[in-house]
């Protein structure tokens, strides 16, 4: 989906153009049991020997953290805009005591990560409760960070609760962002390698690394859950749909990734390859690389690309014919996707996040005279229908309409459609995070934020603060809900045994688990009615 942040920027008219997706390729993997691995010296106590070399860790909050482990070679120089390659093996123990660099990004929006970083960024982090034995076979949770496929970092997420209380081996991943991660241009695409969806290829390479190495950290490669929020949730649904991700995981938890369902021409939908190539060609012209374009663009300094990329950013997967042979929505409808256990959901008030940023950036609140034009940025040709379906008389003010309609369109009903389609073929469990008291890290607004986009993250990752440095602890009731969520997220393999506690999604019931204080509860039909999903199902949005 077009990242939440990028959609906000477009909606607030700060001139960020969005272009479409391109094609990707499967990352090569290092062979198991290679000669290099066989000649490695034995690791010392506390070290873990990966297939590329030994790493040490650091004790951190009741867990062992192994930070900055390379899962692919630095994608620099001639490797820029190529599929990820295996990292260079090493023999001396690599100190895994500090995080590696964030991937290059040019905007700090106070939500996912900070501006800066480098192209040498394909590293992951492994977290395990102290005392986890190599033969422990613990469940594995791979976290794909959000940030619009534009910003963010794996280091922004404190995995201690999931690792210590949840008993999982947690892996957080950095992957290429912005134009480094999503870029298509004929001169590069015709080189004979997979192309366009480089950030998604990085994620697949990290999942391959997990399959080869996670058992050495005490994890079970046969019990891997991938999870992510916002664009990370979109990525999760993309991997469920991608044939290139087959066999790399067994369970998936998609958080606020519903926009992947949207159809062509609708705001937030995946991009067609032709549109992505047009964007790439326009970028090449803007930086003076119309001749020998591939060599010219690979020679550009990182900063030049960051300085120039904003009008050409792609913030959604590209339908390239390989990594994504078809739109995920079509794959889910037809059954052409990877069979896993899927948990899919959103927060009840996603849209207040975007409304808050609009208010902050534009400096004004919506009025009766301008709310329809503001909504047209999101809803395009659907705007007249949406204005009719969300009449002013039914809402407290235009801001309430804006936030509610954005929630229903980009997340709630589009996500429920993906749930409904997938449920024909495999176990799917639907949820909505509905704790309206969730801690906020956003500056004071003129309206209540309630359970806004990203606000559930602090229930899984202690103190998540959206990058602004302000942490807010959970109270006792919030901690109770957090404990339940940690159990669900780390024990996805046990969903079938939960029975009445969290029943499998049934289209006839339209049952959605409400993650709310004092305890989660499943409700039939309430979600569909609250979010006007009958309207959206008939609207042509997906």
The confidence band for 342, taking pLDDT boundaries of 50, 70 and 90, is very high
- Mean pLDDT, the chain, whole residue set: 90
Cβ contact 383:372 at 8 Å? yes
The confidence score (pLDDT) of residue 397 equals 95
pLDDT reported for residue 108: 60
Where does the pLDDT of residue 36 fall: very low under 50, low under 70, confident under 90, or very high at 90 and above? very low
pLDDT score, position 113: 60
Q: Is the sign of the CA dihedral 414, 416, 421, 425 positive or negative?
A: positive
The answer to whether the CB of 102 falls within 8 A of the CB of 68 is no
Two tokens at 150? 């534009």
- What is the rounded distance in angstroms from the CA atom of residue 77 to the CA atom of residue 73? 11
Give 402-424 pLDDT, tens digit per residue.
999 999 999 999 999 999 999 99
**Going by C-beta distance under 8 Å and a sequence separation of 6 or more, which residues neighbour residue 163?**
63, 127, 128, 129, 169, 170
For residues 451-485, one letter each, b for 16 or more C-beta atoms within 10 angstroms of the residue's C-beta and e for the rest, the string is bbbbbbbbbbbbbbbbbeeeeeebeeebeebbebb
pLDDT at 61: 81
428 pLDDT more than 90: yes
Whether the predicted pLDDT of 44 surpasses 70 = no
Q: Indicate the pLDDT class of residue 114, thresholds 50, 70 and 90.
A: confident
CB atoms closer than 10 angstroms to residue 394: 10
* pLDDT at res. 444: 77
HSE-CB for 275 with a 13 A CA cutoff? 18
Each residue's pLDDT tens digit, 74-98:
999 999 999 999 999 999 999 999 9
Answer whether residue 489 shows pLDDT above 50. Answer: yes
Q: What 8-state DSSP symbol labels residue 408?
A: I
284-300 pLDDT, tens digit each = 999 999 999 999 999 99
CA angle 94, 95, 100 (to 5 degrees): 100
Give the torsion sign (CA, 436, 437, 443, 446).
Answer: positive
**Cβ neighbourhood burial of 17 (10 Å; 0-12, 13-18, 19+):** middle
* Contacts with 331 (C-beta within 8 Å, 6 or more apart), sequence order: 241, 325, 337
Q: Is 70 exceeded by the pLDDT of residue 501?
A: yes
pLDDT at res. 112 = 62
**Quick one: pLDDT at residue 31?**
33
- Domains in the chain: ranges and CATH: 4-123+141-226+243-321 (3.40.50.1820), 331-539 (3.40.50.1820)
Residue 356 burial (CB count, 10 A): 23
Instruction: Give me the DSSP letters along 160-179.
Output: HIIIIIS--EEEEE----HH
Q: How far apart are CA 330 and CA 348, in angstroms?
A: 26
What pLDDT is attached to residue 344?
A: 99
Per-residue pLDDT tens digits for 138-190: 999 999 999 999 999 999 999 999 999 999 999 999 999 999 999 999 999 99
Give the rounded percent of residues in the chain with a pLDDT score beyond 70: 89
Residue 39 predicted with pLDDT over 50: no
Question: Percent of the chain scored above 90 by pLDDT?
Answer: 80
User: Interior CA angle at 527 toward 521 and 529, to 5°?
Assistant: 140
**What pLDDT is stored for residue 468 in this prediction?**
54
Mean pLDDT, residues 123-145 taken together = 94
pLDDT of residue 109: 57
Does residue 14 surpass a pLDDT of 50?
A: no
Neighbouring C-alpha atoms within 13 Å toward the C-beta of 433:
33
DSSP string, 255-309: ES-GGGGPPTTSTTPPEEHHHHHHHHHHHHHHTT--SSHHHHHHTS-HHHHHHH-
> What is the C-alpha to C-alpha distance for residues 213 and 237, in angstroms, rounded to an integer?
24
Sorting pLDDT into bands at 50, 70 and 90, what band is 280?
A: very high
How does pLDDT run across 201-221, given as a tens digit for each residue?
999 999 999 999 999 999 999
- Give the mean model confidence (pLDDT) for residues 481-486: 98
Regarding predicted confidence, which is higher, 328 or 441? 328
């Amino acid at each position: 989906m077009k990242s939440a942040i990028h959609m906000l920027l477009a909606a607030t008219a700060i001139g960020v153009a969005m272009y479409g997706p391109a094609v990707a390729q499967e990352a090569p993997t290092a062979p198991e049991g290679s000669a290099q691995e066989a000649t490695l010296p034995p690791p010392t106590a506390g070290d873990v020997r990966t297939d590329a070399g030994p790493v040490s860790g650091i004790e951190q909050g009741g867990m062992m953290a192994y930070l900055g482990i390379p899962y692919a070679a630095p994608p620099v120089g001639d490797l820029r805009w190529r599929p990820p390659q295996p990292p260079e093996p090493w023999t001396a123990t690599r100190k895994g005591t500090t995080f590696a660099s964030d991937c290059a990004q040019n905007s700090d929006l106070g939500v996912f990560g900070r501006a800066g970083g480098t192209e040498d960024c394909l590293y992951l982090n492994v977290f395990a409760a102290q005392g986890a034995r190599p033969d422990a076979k613990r469940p594995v949770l791979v976290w794909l960070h959000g940030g619009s496929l534009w910003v963010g970092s794996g280091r922004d997420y404190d995995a201690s609760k999931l690792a210590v209380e949840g008993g999982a081996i947690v892996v957080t991943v950095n992957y290429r962002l912005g134009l480094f991660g999503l870029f298509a241009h004929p001169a590069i695409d015709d080189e004979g390698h997979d192309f366009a969806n480089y950030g998604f290829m990085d994620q697949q390479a990290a999942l391959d690394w997990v399959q080869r190495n996670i058992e050495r950290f005490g994890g079970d490669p046969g019990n891997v859950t991938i999870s992510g929020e916002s664009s990370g949730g979109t990525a999760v649904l993309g991997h469920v749909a991608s044939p290139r991700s087959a066999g790399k995981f067994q369970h998936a938890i998609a958080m606020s990734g519903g926009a992947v369902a949207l159809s062509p021409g609708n705001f937030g939908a995946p991009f067609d390859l032709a549109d992505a190539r047009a964007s790439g060609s326009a970028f090449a012209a803007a930086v003076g690389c119309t001749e020998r374009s591939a060599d010219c663009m690979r020679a550009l300094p990182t900063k030049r690309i960051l300085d120039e990329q904003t009008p050409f950013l792609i913030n959604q997967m590209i339908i390239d014919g390989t990594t994504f042979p078809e739109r995920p929505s079509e794959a889910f409808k037809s059954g052409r996707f990877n069979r896993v256990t899927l948990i899919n959901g959103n927060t009840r008030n996603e849209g207040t996040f975007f409304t808050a940023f609009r208010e902050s950036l534009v400096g004004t609140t919506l009025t009766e005279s301008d709310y329809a034009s503001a909504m047209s940025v999101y809803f395009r040709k659907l705007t007249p229908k949406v204005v009719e379906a969300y009449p002013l008389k039914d809402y407290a003010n235009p801001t309430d309409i804006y936030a509610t309609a954005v929630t229903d369109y980009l997340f709630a009903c589009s996500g429920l459609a993906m749930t409904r389609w997938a449920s024909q073929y495999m176990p799917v469990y639907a949820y909505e995070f509905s704790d309206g008291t969730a801690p906020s890290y956003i500056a004071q607004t003129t309206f209540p934020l309630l359970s806004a986009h990203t606000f559930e993250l602090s229930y899984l990752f202690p103190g998540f603060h959206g990058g602004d440095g302000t942490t807010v602890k959970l109270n006792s009731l919030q901690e109770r809900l957090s404990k339940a969520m940690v159990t669900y997220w780390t024990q996805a393999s046990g969903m079938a045994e939960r029975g009445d506690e969290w029943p499998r999604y049934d289209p006839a019931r339209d049952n959605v688990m409400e993650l709310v204080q004092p305890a989660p509860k499943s409700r039939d039909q309430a979600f569909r009615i609250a979010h006007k999903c009958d309207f959206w199902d008939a609207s042509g949005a997906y």
